Amino acid sequence: MEMYGMTGERLGLIGIQQPAGLPWKLPKWKQDFLVKPSVSIRRGIAWGYTPPFEDTDTLVLTAPSGQFVDIRFPKDATSAREASDHSSFWSFSGKAFTTFHDATRQPHAIDMPYTAHCKFLHDIDSRGPGISDEGDMFLLMNGDCLEMGIMKNPATGKEELYKEYWHSAEKLPNPNGQDDENICLVACATSPASVKGIVIRLGGRVQGIISSGDESGQQTVEVERWTRDRNSTRALPVDQYISEAPPGPWSRDVRSSGFLPGGWLCLPGCQVGDSLEYNGILWQVTEAHL
């Protein structure tokens, strides 16, 4: 088995561009699986052998380190309460890993190009701990990716075969003329110890998730999504949520349930080591690719 982090770090890969002068040792289709950061939108999901459908607004932001934030808002929700109470709502974060099968190490095995196996370790999960999240990935001719695996169907409560169709999202241009679509920033909650949290900004999109526990051990998970979209119908102006509004038409999705420092990562000048205390929680920038 060939094992790579989502950064393709054995190749020295950082960010979305191949470093100058670095010879690639993998075919293009493997590079497509490994190159990060990435913005992925789910086009649809199919259970068993039924046709695909999409009842969520699912967005995944993945940083070069492999850290990701996956938020799945129900499409028909118009508020944070409606979203969090909906059976299709799911949010989680953690780290992703990719495996390529090596036919030379197994008798009678055959090469299967344009395929990989991905495993997603969950540090925070709105559905609780212990969920296994991994699947086989297949690159499609239209550039999308098909993910196939087994997980619990929220409609039936049973473990079932699923197929998810993923699309690489288009860039969101900056109306101020700044070319910042390749910016990738990651901030993590560092204290208190009872809190886990991460916020990722990739260009014109920001997602964050936070988990906090009380004395009884009960965990509360809250999420936040920001988008640079002047015409968003599911958003409120950013300056209603932070004292210093970032430049440009940043807006906060009304289905967000928590108040995380997403606006902070929209401000210019953030770099590794920067910290901010926000709502009693200390956050620190742990990753920056500008």
Looking at 120, 143, 168, which one is the last position of a domain? 168
Instruction: Report the C-alpha gap between 166 and 144 in whole angstroms.
Output: 6
What are the pLDDT digits (tens) for 97-140?
Answer: 998 887 777 788 888 889 999 999 999 999 988 787 899 999 99
Higher per-residue confidence, 35 vs 88: 88
Residue-range definition of the domain harbouring residue 106: 2-168
Average pLDDT, the chain: 84
pTM as predicted? 0.86
Q: Give the pLDDT mean for 270-277.
A: 94
The band of 251, judged by pLDDT with boundaries at 50, 70 and 90, is confident
Closest among 121, 92, 82 to 211, alpha carbons compared: 92
Q: Give the pLDDT mean for 29-49.
A: 91
| 245 and 147 belong to one structural domain | no
Tell me phi and psi for residue 63, to 5 degrees. -85, 165
Torsion of CA 43, 185, 2, 165, to 10 degrees: 0
| 16 and 109 belong to one structural domain | yes
Q: Which of 24-28, 40-44, 206-210, 283-287 has the lowest mean pLDDT?
A: 24-28
| 12 and 146 belong to one structural domain | yes
In the predicted structure, residue 144 carries a pLDDT above the cut 60? yes
The band of 72, judged by pLDDT with boundaries at 50, 70 and 90, is very high
CATH code for position 80 = 2.40.128.320
Torsion of CA 122, 232, 39, 124, to 10 degrees: -10
Token pair belonging to 69: 């934030």
Contact indicator for 190, 283 with CB cutoff of 8 Å = yes
| 215 and 156 belong to one structural domain | no
In the predicted structure, residue 32 carries a pLDDT above the cut 60? yes
In the predicted structure, residue 235 carries a pLDDT above the cut 60? no
Looking at 168, 203, 230, which one is the last position of a domain? 168
Which pLDDT does position 186 carry in this prediction? Answer: 97
| 23 and 101 belong to one structural domain | yes
What DSSP character marks residue 46?
E
Token pair belonging to 248: 């440009």
| 130 and 76 belong to one structural domain | yes
| 8 and 111 belong to one structural domain | yes
Whether residue 25 is contained in a domain is answered as yes
| 6 and 111 belong to one structural domain | yes
Q: Give the pLDDT mean for 277-282.
A: 92
Which pLDDT does position 232 carry in this prediction? Answer: 52
Looking at 137, 168, 199, which one is the last position of a domain? 168
Report the domain count for the chain. 2
